[in-house]
Structure 1
Amino acid sequence: MSDLFSALLLGILEGLTEFLPVSSTGHLLIAQHWLGARSDFFNIVIQAGAIVAITLVFRRRLWELATNLGDAANRDYVAKLGTAFLVTALVGLPVRLAGWELPETIAPVAWALVVGGVWMLLAERLAERRGDLAAVTWKVAVLVGLAQVVAGVFPGTSRSAAAIFMAMLAGTSRRSAATEFVFLVGIPTMFAASGYAFLELVKDGAVGGEDWAGVAVAFAAATATGFVVVRWLLGYVKAHRFTGFAVYRIVLGALLLVLMPGG
């Protein structure tokens, strides 16, 4: 299989899984065992491609927030988005500087898929007992930021799943409201992660060694696929639970542990 075609497949996979609560990083690590390993820069940048998609989907909401800061509700919401991002950056940057790297075996990802799926089932049931609350509190903003760091450290956890369910448990029990807040926080978070990865690449003098054609193809594929998936998911969460995604995680993780016990 050609490198460009495998990059295309990885980009499509990223776009399909970045916003679903199934772990895009986990799926990429699994797929790369068959399609060939890629650099951390590749994995992070194609995630940014998916974030471009969500920026396009939420372009009107972003414009409304940016141009109506005179409105107290908008100002408050933007401040909470900024808080969630800062918590992620302040806690996540030291982890990155400490030398954290993605695992090279599948077993940790498989366990994270299973544990995360069980946690999703329990968390959604607990959140539903709180009623239909759409407000995003400061507590929610801080915990969403921390949840993003946890998801980054444990591939297979899923950034969207960890943050959405943390928001639902912390007070924003309405799925659509929690999902929108998490997706909007993901925009600066992933763009910052991609920028940091690029600076590391430049610092290490590895820019010339990166497969830029593959990165470009995967980035474009992730953007196009992600756009479609986000539009679908925003409609889906208004009337459906996340149960199907949780079951999928548990089944996939269990199969990986059975079929590849050595990781």
Structure 2
Amino acid sequence: MPDALAALLLGIIEGITEFLPVSSTGHLLVAQYWLGARSDFFNIVIQAGAILAITLVFRQRLWGLASGLHVPANRDYAMKVAVAFLVTALVGLPVRLAGWELPDTVTPIAWALVIGGVWMLVAEHFAEKRGDRTEVTWTVAIAVGLAQVVAGVFPGTSRSAATIFIAMLLGLSRRSAATEFVFIVGIPTMFAASGYAFLELLLEQGVGGENWLDVTIAFTASAVTGFLVVRWLLGYIKAHRFTGFAIYRILFGIALLLWLPAGD
């Protein structure tokens, strides 16, 4: 397969799976198994495309928060976004420096997919019994920040799955409200994580020998696909449960356990 086509497919896969609660790590692992492994720089760039996508989707909401901090409701929401991000940074950075992270290999990712799928089914069942509340509490903000750390430690967990469902269980019973808060928190979190990873790469290895056409194609594909997927998801969850995603995760995880060599 031509490198440019492989880069296009990898960008599309990243854009589709980064924000759906299905684990982009697991899907990229399988994709690169068939399409060929890519550099760390390439992987950082395609995630940057996804970050650009979600920033564009929420551009009006972000501008409204930034320009409306004099309004108590906006200021309260922005402070809770900041707290969730700070919790992730203050807990996640020491965890990262200590090297507490499972490897990006098939077995742990597959089990994370299966367990996460079951967790989604159980969590949504109990969350729906809590009513239809839309207010983000401080407890939700702190829990979302911690859930992002858990997702980082356990590849395959899915950041969106871990955070959306903990938010729903702890107060944001409406799926759309939980998803919006989680996605907005994810913007500074993903920017910081990608920036840290890039700086680490630059200091340790440098950036060289890249096929810039492939990188550009993958970045663009990730950004365009991510934008479309997030817009679709925000509409979909207004009238649908996450059950389909949970079942897909379980089946995908089982397929990984049965199909790919356990040591990969």
> TM-score normalised to the size of structure 2?
0.95
Do the aligned partners of residues 96 and 3 (structure 1) sit closer, same or farther apart at CA in structure 2, a change above 3 Å counting? farther
| Secondary structure at 2:220 match in 1 | helix
Give per-residue Cα distances to partners, 1:2-33, cap 9 Å, x unaligned. Answer: 33221211110011111111011221112111
| Structure 1 segment 6-17 matched on structure 2, within 5 A | 6-17=6-17
CA distance in 2, matches of 1:219, 1:95: 29
Partner of 2:168: 168
Across the aligned residues of Structure 1 and Structure 2, the Cα RMSD in angstroms comes to 1.5
Shift of 1:38: 2.2
CA contact (8 A) 1:168 1:178 kept: yes
Do the aligned partners of residues 58 and 104 (structure 1) sit closer, same or farther apart at CA in structure 2, a change above 3 Å counting? closer
Shift of 1:98: 2.3
Letter of the structure 1 residue corresponding to residue 54 of structure 2: I
Shift of 1:91: 1.3
Stretches of structure 1 that go unaligned for 5 or more consecutive residues are: none
Partner of 1:37: 37
Give per-residue Cα distances to partners, 1:141-190, cap 9 Å, x unaligned. Answer: 01101111111111111000000001001111110000000000111111
CA distance in 1, matches of 2:162, 2:241: 15
CA contact (8 A) 1:140 1:167 kept: yes
CA distance in 2, matches of 1:193, 1:222: 17
Shift of 1:71: 0.2
CA distance in 1, matches of 2:75, 2:169: 24
CA distance in 2, matches of 1:54, 1:180: 11
Partner of 1:127: 127
- How many residue pairs match? The answer is 263
Partner of 2:247: 247
Shift of 1:200: 1.1
CA contact (8 A) 2:8 2:214 kept: yes
Partner of 1:152: 152
| Secondary structure at 2:208 match in 1 | helix
Do the aligned partners of residues 219 and 180 (structure 1) sit closer, same or farther apart at CA in structure 2, a change above 3 Å counting? same
Matched, 1:216 2:222: no
Do the aligned partners of residues 4 and 100 (structure 1) sit closer, same or farther apart at CA in structure 2, a change above 3 Å counting? farther
Letter of the structure 2 residue corresponding to residue 59 of structure 1: R
> TM-score normalised to the size of structure 1?
0.95
CA distance in 2, matches of 1:175, 1:104: 29
CA distance in 2, matches of 1:101, 1:46: 21
CA contact (8 A) 2:101 2:154 kept: no
Give per-residue Cα distances to partners, 1:21-77, cap 9 Å, x unaligned. Answer: 101122111211111122334323312211211111111111110111100000000
CA distance in 1, matches of 2:223, 2:54: 8
CA distance in 1, matches of 2:139, 2:86: 14
Partner of 1:25: 25
| Secondary structure at 1:207 match in 2 | coil
| Structure 1 segment 187-202 matched on structure 2, within 5 A | 187-202=187-202
Letter of the structure 2 residue corresponding to residue 143 of structure 1: A
Give per-residue Cα distances to partners, 1:64-101, cap 9 Å, x unaligned. Answer: 10111100000000000011111111111122222456
Stretches of structure 2 that go unaligned for 5 or more consecutive residues are: none
Partner of 1:57: 57
CA distance in 2, matches of 1:44, 1:207: 12
Do the aligned partners of residues 104 and 143 (structure 1) sit closer, same or farther apart at CA in structure 2, a change above 3 Å counting? closer
CA contact (8 A) 1:25 1:43 kept: no
CA distance in 2, matches of 1:44, 1:78: 27
CA contact (8 A) 1:11 1:218 kept: yes
The percent of aligned pairs where both chains have the same amino acid is 75
